[in-house]
Amino acid sequence: MRHLHEKLDYLISRQWTRLAEMQLMQLDAMSWRGEEAEAGDVGVRRRAAKGEAAG
């Protein structure tokens, strides 16, 4: 029974670690997208996509 509890504790700890890693990746991606938006790249792509969809 103790071994089961230790295993569960280990798995839960690992899940929290993985969640933190995923959140860091999300923050990095959002930061990167924010830098693109500031540079104006995102708006250009949206306008181009709308033009292609209309054409």
Question: Tokens at residue 16, please?
Answer: 């929290």
Q: What's the pLDDT at 29?
A: 92
Supply the pLDDT for residue 1: 92
Local confidence pLDDT in tens for the 55 residues of the chain: 999 999 999 999 999 999 999 999 999 999 988 887 778 765 555 566 666 666 5
Q: Give which of 20, 24, 42, 43 is closest to 33, Cα–Cα.
A: 42
Per-residue pLDDT at 42 = 56
pLDDT of residue 11: 96
